[in-house]
Every structure is written in structure tokens, then in C-alpha cells.
Amino acid sequence: MAWPNIMEVSSLTHGTLIIGGGQAGLSAAAELRKRKYDAPITLLCGEDALPYQRPPLSKAYLSGDTPLDRLWLKPEGFFEKADITVRTGVRAKALDRSAGEVLTEAGERLGYDDLILATGGEARRLPIPGAELEGVHVLRTLAEADRLSEALDKAERLVIIGAGYIGLEVAASAVKRGKQVTVLEAEDRPMARTASSLLSGWFGAIHRGYGVDLRVGAAASRIEGDAQVTGVKTGDEVIEADLVLIAAGLVPNVTLAEAAGLEVRDGIEVDGHARTSDPHIYAVGDVARFTLPRYGRSVRLESVQNAIDQAKAAAQAILGESKPYDPVPWFWSDQYELKLQIAGLIDGSDTLVRRGDPEEGKFALFHLKDGALIACEAVNCPPEYMAAQRMIAAGARPDPEKLRDQSVAMKDFLS
């Protein structure tokens, strides 16, 4: 008997439909093909753009160092060559699980055998007066980055609400473009959600050294202006601004999943194979919430690492060859000439070990819990970061005294 060729199979199956053309959606499609998945793959991109890299939007793209044509994750020809149907500007409106169909905003019905939700999220807008004024921006998409960048050309005074990674990276990029920058943070330190207080404090000082007016414990209560923004109110003070960026985190896009009755809790709940409560529906990347076995708790990771690796896990599960997803999360941030690299998650740390001197702009902070290494925050210290990744994966229990001692090479901890 002859095997049916791919064309014949295609007519019999819907294959895999992927909603979301970010890093996670693209990685899922590419991984399926790489592993010889032979049914159709359709990738719906809600934005009017082929899959692109988001990390540079707040960094090198915004500072002007990286042009648009270097953002694309794949060349246009890739999709044809890999036989992936990519559709830009197509947004899903509803999910009909019993029919195995997705309804698009344009009213089209698309069938699926397996569905991957890579819907990411939207930049959070704040419920404060004035948030809708002209000159108030958010940053998540390429279109938003272009609008912000264009506005930045004409602006003198930028106020950023929120001192997380996006807020601080934009601050650094705007300083590079000669702007006067104020950052307002409601918490008592920058990067409060993800970084240790030592690292927070150090980054805060760096930004102040570059002339950024970074204020902590300073919630924005109101954005001032008639049509065009003129300032931001914090406490009793109004800080003048002709441009405002709200950098207050991400709201995961769970609407579709929630309306379809999937389990949702600040993210779409998935198991160790990126599978939702429906066995033919997966969720990957920024939108997915799962229990990280290594850390024993539920997380939603907004990172390139998670977008790629969880997407691979979903693709493998669809092909029936999955092994449970148990990553050592990693992150990076570029601000000024600093490269921050983080391996692992710091929560639960009971011991902090510092290696190197922050005064020299080069140091690593190791976090241990019950003697085991759980995270490393490295500033301009790739060896510490790279070694920590492997040590965390191996469940290493390094001697804190040796970790602190720079005469002991990081490589020695791996043997």
C-alpha cells in the first residue's frame, strides 16, 4: 500500500491552528515542521506584521540602533518553504470547542485538530484619569513602538509610569536620544516584582547617574492635560511631560480561552506538556500559567526562553513525543552599557551570595534556598550566569564561601 502524500492528508485533516504570531506561536509552528509533522499548520497573527522579536522594541529598536528589517524572526520565504500558512491581521473572536473551530473577527470559521493559544497579552493601561489623553503611550507591539518612537522625536520630557524592565529599558533608550526622563514607581524600589532588592537598588543608582529622575513610592494618580498630555500628578506634585509611557506590566489575553470554558487564572492554566484543560488545546508563552516543577509553584513567565521552550513542549506533545517541561527560566535586559542576565527565579531565596564588586559594574548575586542554588542575577558577568544556569539545572549545592571567592573559577563548580 502506498502512503498518502501530504496533499491528500491535508484534505482530510485540519492540522494545527496557532493563534498568535509572536515568538511562542512562531516557535510552535517551526518546531512542528522541524519534527516532521505532516498535517497543515496555520499561524494567525493578530497584528499586521509577520512574527518579529519583541525584546528590541524597548531597547535597540527604540534607541535607533537596530532597524526594522533586523527584527523579523524569519524571512518571508520561510513560511512557504516550511508549508506554514501565515495570516497577518487575522484575529480570533471565539472558540467553538465542540465543533473544533475558531471563529475569526472577520466571520471566518477555521477548523483544527489541535489548537495552540499563543495569545500573549496587552500592555496594562491604568485606571487613572487622563490615561486616554493624546501623548499617553503603552509599549508591547511593533506598532506601539513605532508610535512611541515617532512621538519621542518631538518630545523633550518623558514621564514613564512603572519601573519594571520595559520602563527602565525605555528610560535608557530615551536618555540615549537626549530626552529628559522621569520614572515613577509605586513600589519602594525599581524592578520590585522580579529582582532582588540589592540589584534593584544598584540599577536605580545607575539610572540616576545617567540623569533619570527615578522616584520610588511614587504612584501616578492622574495624567494632566486637555487634549494633549501636559504632566503627571504624583502626591501633591505635577511633573511636566509632553510624552507619557505607561509601563505597568502585561495583561494576559485570556478572553478567548475563558469564554470557551478553559481553566483560567491570570493566564491560561496548562500542565507540564503545555496542555489546557481541553486535551487538544495548548497554551504557550506569556499567556500560559503552569507549575514549574523545579520551583514547585505556579508561574506565568514573560520571557523569550519560555516562549520558545514551552512552544517546543506543545509541539512535541502534539507529536506524542513529549517530555515534561521543566526549564531553568532565563531572562536578560540591556540598559545603557549594562547586560543583566538572570537565571532561575529568586523567590524563596534564604541566602544571598555576592561575587564581584558592584562598584566595578561587574558582579553576580547568587540566591540559595536550603543550600541549593535557585537563581543568579549577573551584571556584565556571563560566566557566572552561564555556570548558574547549569548548576540550577543540576540541583547544585555550592559552598557559599567558594561562590564568593573570585579566585575560584566558575567552571570549577560544574565538575
Partner 1 sequence: MAKITYIEHDGTEHVVDVEDGLTVMEGAVRNMVPGIDADCGGACACATCHVYVDENWTGKTGERSSMEESMLDFADDVRDNSRLSCQIKVSGALDGLVVRMPEEQG
Interface with partner 1 (CB under 8 A): 34, 53, 55-56, 70, 73-75, 77-78, 81, 304-305, 308, 330, 332, 334, 339, 341, 380-383, 386-387, 389-390, 411, 414
| Residue closer to partner 1, measured from CB, 276 or 333 | 333
| Residue closer to partner 1, measured from CB, 32 or 308 | 308
| Residue closer to partner 1, measured from CB, 133 or 319 | 319
393 sits in which H/E element: helix 382-394
CB of 302 to partner 1, least distance (A): 15
Distances (CA, A) of 143 to 31, 64, 66: 27, 15, 16
Contacts of 351 (CB under 8 A, 6+ apart): 367, 368, 369, 400
Tell me the C-alpha distance between 368 and 397, whole Å: 8
341 sits in which H/E element: strand 338-344
Tell me the C-alpha distance between 151 and 144, whole Å: 11
CB of 338 to partner 1, least distance (A): 12
What is the DSSP pairing of strand 297-299 with strand 288-292? antiparallel
Tell me the C-alpha distance between 267 and 312, whole Å: 19
Q: Can you read off the three cell numbers belonging to residue 272? A: 507540564
| Residue closer to partner 1, measured from CB, 15 or 327 | 327
CB of 56 to partner 1, least distance (A): 7
CB of 156 to partner 1, least distance (A): 30
CB of 324 to partner 1, least distance (A): 18
Residue at 406: amino acid letter = Q
**Residue 69 burial by Cβ neighbours in a 10 Å radius (0-12, 13-18, 19+):** exposed
CB of 255 to partner 1, least distance (A): 29
| Residue closer to partner 1, measured from CB, 75 or 178 | 75
| Residue closer to partner 1, measured from CB, 95 or 392 | 392
